[in-house]
Amino acid sequence: MTRLHDLSLVAQVAALRDGRIRPVELTSHYLDRIARAADLGAFAEVTAESALARAAALDAGGHRGPLWGVPSAEKDLVARAGVPTRYGSRARADYVAVAAGLLPAAVGSDGGGSIRIPSATVGVVGLKPSRGRLPIGSGFDSPDGLSVTGPIARTVEDAGLLLDALVGLSPFPYATAAPGRGPFVRAARTGSATYRIGATTVSPWDDDEDIVLDPAARTAFETAAVWLSDAGHPVTDADWHPVGYPALFRVLWRASAARIPLSAHDMTLVEPLTAWLVREGRALSAPELLGGLTEARAFERRTITDFAAFDAVLTPALAQAPQPVGAYAGHDPERTFAMQVEYAPYSSFVNVAGLPALTLPVTVDATGHPVSVQLIGRPGGEATLLALGAELELRRGPLPHPPAWDA
């Protein structure tokens, strides 16, 4: 018997629309799963009563948007009336759910990899849209242009459906989709034309940090390249030689941290890395900041030019195997930053360049854990990524979901 959480987001939306399941039934199902999996720590706050009340109101009728009746959640960075928002920090104590089948999909934000890195770590699909693609979380909300909003889902098709819904909120740059009728879910369903694929394991951190590609990550990368080639897509070396990236990113990352409104007392409550970045960011001079922003725009232009020969560029998603919680504890902030770069050197440069990127699992390692790759597209090239991702997903076949606790 198929359980509700075993259905894809696309299947759940269809079942809600034709009345085979009701919003209250689906919401209650996920709330029960969330309660059973409390030890996972996937949620900072669960608003069960308001979720059920909202579902009951939907059951009574009303507007049916593209995700009508689907339970969802946001990162603990989105302020909601009547709900504590802690911004993921002890400093706001008073103020990974999709992989476990506790939600059908979710919306996240990605300023340096925060959609793609967790998605790759747990083996789900993560999509960072192009800068300017979405009306909310467009990347134009801050001078550095790093952070954008995007989907986290169990399948490429589900990610396409969720992206269609997000794009359809307003006619901003690149937004061509009416709610629920955009091109992205169609791209994931219909397959792709013949695309030129660049492949590289080069990262812009290679000359600055000790980047060592894990054998399982290399196997996933090479497997994806073979599968894409077998599907008729020419795959060639991207021959990419980025320079000057670490210095400019450190300026942008410190400047971004400087915007966090932390008092002296708050600084004693946050992680040492956060406190260090905030202090470093607040110490930046105007010429340093403007220089970093200028270099970032130059890096964006160079990267787009370097990748112009390709419709998509394939890289590993992560350089190392998934790290356990607490792996970075006990190190000084600069070493912690370096360790994070060594873990995920292929993520942040995509934000600086403003490009779309999709991570999805393609193989499993010796322990049975999914291993992901990343596809980077041209500006506005999400449909191409979804089409290619769907081809890889079809070739790969199903992965073991949900986790062992739910067997």
pLDDT of residue 216: 97
Which two three-digit tokens encode residue 107?
């919306």
Q: Which amino acid appears at position 368 of this protein?
A: G
Distance CA 57, CA 52 (A): 9
Q: For residue 12, what are the CA distances in angstroms to 26, 27, 28, 69?
A: 9, 11, 14, 9
**Phi, psi of 141, rounded to the nearest 5 degrees:** -80, -10
Distance CA 310, CA 384 (A): 11
Distance CA 258, CA 78 (A): 19
Q: Which residue has the tokens 């993520």?
A: 347
Cβ atoms 76, 87 nearer than 8 A: yes
Distance CA 243, CA 240 (A): 10
Which residues are within 8 A (CB) of 118 and not within 5 positions of it... i.e. 6 or more apart?
96, 108, 126, 152
Which two three-digit tokens encode residue 149?
């909003």
Q: Which residue has the tokens 């504890």?
A: 329
The count of residues in the chain is: 407
pLDDT of residue 76: 60
Distance CA 402, CA 96 (A): 12
pLDDT of residue 235: 97
Q: Which DSSP category does 91 fall into?
A: G
The sheet with strand 357-364 has its strands ordered as: 105-110, 148-153, 125-128, 357-364, 370-377, 312-316, 197-199, 235-237
Cβ atoms 306, 350 nearer than 8 A: no
| Cα 146 from chain centre | 13
Q: In b/e form, how buried is each residue of 300-328, taking b as 16+ CB within 10 angstroms?
A: bebbeebbeebbbbbbbbbbbbbeeeeeb
> Within 10 A of 289 (CB to CB), how many other CB atoms are there?
18
Cβ atoms 358, 385 nearer than 8 A: yes
**Phi, psi of 294, rounded to the nearest 5 degrees:** -65, -45
Q: What is the pLDDT along the chain (407 residues), one digit of tens a residue?
A: 678 888 889 999 989 988 899 999 998 998 988 888 877 777 777 888 888 888 898 887 766 778 888 988 776 655 454 444 444 444 333 328 788 788 888 999 999 999 999 999 999 999 999 999 988 888 888 888 999 999 999 999 999 999 998 887 554 444 444 444 568 988 998 776 899 999 999 999 999 999 999 999 999 999 999 999 999 999 999 989 999 999 999 999 999 999 888 888 988 888 888 898 999 999 999 999 999 999 999 999 999 999 999 999 999 999 999 988 788 888 888 999 999 999 999 999 999 999 999 999 999 999 889 999 999 999 999 999 999 999 999 999 887 655 544 54
**Helix or strand holding residue 316 (H, E):** strand 312-316
pLDDT of residue 90: 42
pLDDT of residue 329: 81
Q: Is the pTM of this model over 0.85?
A: yes
| Cα 83 from chain centre | 24
- Strand ranges in 117-241 using DSSP code E only, listed in sequence order: 125-128, 148-153, 197-199, 235-237
Beta bridge partners of 107: 151
**Phi, psi of 388, rounded to the nearest 5 degrees:** -65, -40
Distance CA 216, CA 36 (A): 32
pLDDT of residue 401: 58
Cβ atoms 236, 387 nearer than 8 A: no
